[in-house]
Amino acid sequence: LPSGLSQWFPELEVLDVSGTGLAELGAELLALPRLHTLLAKNNRLGGPGSLPKGLGQAPLGRSLRVLNFSGNRFAELPPDLLGLRGLQSLSLGGNRLHDIPPDIQELRSLEFLYLGGNFITSIPPELANLPSLSYLVLCDNKIQSIPPQLAQLHSLRSLSLHNNLLTYLPREILNLVHLEELSLRGNPLVVRFVRDLTYNPPSLLELAGRTIKTRSVPYAHSDLPQNLVRYLSLASNCPNPKCGGVYFDSCVRQIKFVDFCGKYRLPLMHYLCSPECSSPCSSASQSSTSQSESDSEDEASVAARRMQKVLLG
């Protein structure tokens, strides 16, 4: 970029340097206080020093709303970007990312995040702390599971997960009531009912913890060592509403199907406190109309009906 950039064009609002072969964007950018859209697709950015230091503190850092770095060579999300508090739209599609840093939650204004076409294997739960995120694209990656915390993205309207390595989804996904688009094609989603039979019996510590919680045995923080106080605070409620139980580390994973569009069944993950604890809905066998009808009381079905226009690919 020419070094006189901010002097010649101090009012510059949109800069498109896509397809110019740039390997780095220099400090010339930092002094552009009106620049809200920077497009630098299909370049050679990604190596050390691709981006100027101090991006978050510069005038540019406060003005930037839209950033498109798709089709470059980033192997990690550049930490310099995390200071862009006003950034609303970020695309790093078609790069070489292997993961998403938990600090992504610092991009407080982010509404649109495109990370399709990378090598991402997992999603940090901190991604769910982006309060305004409405469009999340994670297609064409190597993701094996979705953290249940993602259900906290209340503003999410569109979630793109196609062409990954998902075998199931967390049942919390049903809580995304504003979700209008969900793409799941090209994942090895389990079609038939699967029960995970490997169950590690609870330890004495866990049994004691369960008893304290379910019987509401009173205790003060001064009664117990700190580590046990903390352990007791980690109790999770069994999702079966008919069971009042809690569990700590020992739980059974069960894939349960929920009808979204009549005959479609999606494998959702349930955690139960023991193999004897049955899921709220009686076991799902082969899909049949009568089975769907008996599911109608199920709270999961109610939530599922709320998700009207789900795109199953």
Instruction: Give the footprint of another protein on this chain (CB under 8 A).
Output: 41-42, 70-71, 91, 93-94, 112, 114, 116-117, 135, 137, 139-140, 157-158, 160, 162, 180-181, 183, 185, 189, 191, 261-264, 286-287, 311-313
Residue 80's closest CA among 45, 42, 111?
45
- Distant-in-sequence, close-in-space partners of 210: CB < 8 Å, separation ≥ 6: 202, 235, 245, 246, 247, 248, 273
Shortest distance in whole angstroms from residue 10 CB to another protein: 30
Q: Which residues of 174-191 are buried (b: 16+ CB within 10 A; e: fewer)?
A: bbbeebeebbbeebebee
List the 265-272 sheet strands across, edge first: 169-170, 265-272, 252-259
Q: Would you list the DSSP string of 44-105?
A: ---STTSS-TTTTTSHHHHH--EEE-TTS--SS--GGGGG-TT--EEE-TTS------GGGG
- How distant is the alpha carbon of residue 24 from its chain centre? 30
- Distant-in-sequence, close-in-space partners of 30: CB < 8 Å, separation ≥ 6: 6, 52, 54, 55, 58, 59, 60, 61
Residue 39's closest CA among 53, 48, 29?
29
Q: Which is nearer to another protein, 162 or 210 (CB)?
A: 162
User: The tokens 């999340």 sit on which residue?
Assistant: 136
Q: Which is nearer to another protein, 107 or 113 (CB)?
A: 113
How many Å is the Cα radius of gyration of the chain? 24
In the chain, the N- to C-terminal Cα span, in Å, equals 42
Residue 253's closest CA among 172, 194, 165?
194
